[in-house]
Structure 1
Amino acid sequence: MLEVGMKPKDFQLKDAFGKTHKLSDYLGKKVVLYFYPKDNTPGCTTQACSFRDIYQELTNENVVLLGISTDDAMSHKNFIESYNLPFVLLSDPDHEVSSYFGSYGEKNLYGKITIGMKRSTFILNEEGVIEKVFKKASAKTNASAVLTFIKG
């Protein structure tokens, strides 16, 4: 997993509407990258709605919020529309970006070892360097923990 002080390589992924986003597009702003397992599941919905509820506070702090999962564009579009999510959801179908960040791979799910997305969040500063990593982000408290960190 990437750590604090590292500068991730640039990547590009498509959003729910087919637009390509590059990490380098957001230099000059803080970026919150949150990796989550699956659209429209209870934990992921809780987490997304928590980010939705603090979204304006994040944008007031010059923060870009990007959610990343392996779901396709249609799934993301449905998730966004179902819960009025105002932020970008990116599709990583080959889990290349999530694997690079260490957010995809072997995990322990209820005592069983599986392969999949690990709920984790990275906060990058304006120069693109990682300032904070939530390795095992909580669906319930991740958004508030991110906002607390950003506000100092």
Structure 2
Amino acid sequence: MNSRLRRSLCIAAPALLLARAATAADTLGLGQQAPDFSLPDQDGKTRRLAEWRGKWLVLYFYPKNDTPGCTTEACNFRDDWLQLQELGAQVVGVSVDTSASHAAFAQKYKLPFPLLADARGEVAARYGALSDWMVVKMAKRQTFIVDPQGRIARIYRSVDADQHSAEVVTDLRRLRSQPQPSATPA
């Protein structure tokens, strides 16, 4: 391969990766059915989206267990857990970490909600929340509120770990006060 072609590929490759991620993110919008999933939690139990049907679901993707921002975000969700439950919401965290890593993280910080192991990043990719750079896959810090009918009610593509849980609580209060369309028959 000549040097000019190699340089062109080195310049174009990151743009192509970003374009691929943007395409997945752009296809998921408010009111659409949340992409289904089946992933193991920190205890090895398989969890599916359907498990939370009829409830509000805060599905948050995060890069890595035990990193400063991810720990802050998880602990804030833990600290707001009672408020979220009073609003009829369940919290579920997702990263590409293993179930064993999730178990240690959940135990260390006494997290009362499931952490799902998306080891191949397939679920994060379906939600447009996967950062796939060369051989390193990592979930982006993004959150989706899924309504009781399984539709996307709110998308957070830019998250401040310090303030995010409080923002979710505020938005859930607002969303719950709005009339919810009834589920359409299949």
Q: Answer yes or no: same fold by TM over 0.5.
A: yes
> What is the CA-CA distance between 1:145 and the residue it aligns to?
0.5
Give the counterpart of 2:167 among 136, 140, 145: 145
Q: Is 1:89 the counterpart of 2:115 in the alignment? A: yes
- Structure 2 match to 1:41: 67
1:116, distance to aligned residue in structure 2 (A): 2.9
Give the partner amino acid of 2:123: V
The code of the aligned residue for 1:148 comes to: T
Amino acid at match of 1:50: N
2:84 maps to 58
Q: Distance in 2 between matches of 1:45 and 1:3?
A: 28
Identity %: 39
Q: Is the 8 A contact 2:56 2:89 kept in 1?
A: yes
CA contact (8 A) 1:118 1:136 kept: no
The offset of 1:115, in angstroms, is 5.5
RMSD: 1.3
Structure whose residues are more often strand by fraction: 1
Structure with more of its chain in helix, by fraction = 2
The whole-number CA distance in structure 2 between the counterparts of 1:99 and 1:10 is: 12
Kept in 1: contact 2:64–2:138 (CA 8 A) = no
What is the SS of the residue equivalent to 1:136? coil
Q: Match for 1:12: what amino acid?
A: S
Residue identity opposite 2:129 in structure 1: S
Which runs of 5 or more structure 1 residues have no equivalent in the other structure?
108-113
Deviation at 1:47, TM superposition (A): 0.3
What secondary structure does 1:33 align onto? strand
Could you state the TM-score of these two structures normalised by the residue count of structure 1? 0.92
Which of the numbers 116, 119, 126 marks the counterpart of 1:100?
A: 126
SS in 2 for 1:74: helix
Q: CA deviation at 1:117?
A: 1.9
State the structure with bigger RCO (CA 8 A, min sep 6), 1 or 2: 1
**1:27 deviation in Å?**
0.7
The alpha-carbon deviation at position 126 of structure 1 amounts to: 0.4
- Say which is worse superposed, 4-13 or 83-92, in terms of deviation: 4-13
- Regions of 4+ moved over 4 Å: none
Pick aligned residue for 2:101 from 51, 71, 75: 75
Change (3 A) 1:75 1:115: closer
Of 45, 57, 77 in structure 2, the residue corresponding to residue 31 of structure 1 is 57
**How far is the alpha carbon of 1:5 from its aligned partner?**
1.2
Q: Deviations over 1:96-139 (max 9, x none)?
A: 000010000358xxxxxx85321000001100000100001111
Per-residue deviation, residues 64-119 of structure 1 (Å, max 9, x unmatched): 11000000011101101111111110000000000010000358xxxxxx853210
5+ unaligned residues in a row in structure 2: which ranges? 1-24, 175-186
Larger Rg: 2
CA distance in structure 1 between the aligned counterparts of 2:137 and 2:114, rounded to whole angstroms = 25
Q: How does 1:119-134 map to 2 (within 5 A)?
A: 119-134=141-156
Match of 1:93, SS? coil
Partner of 2:45: 19
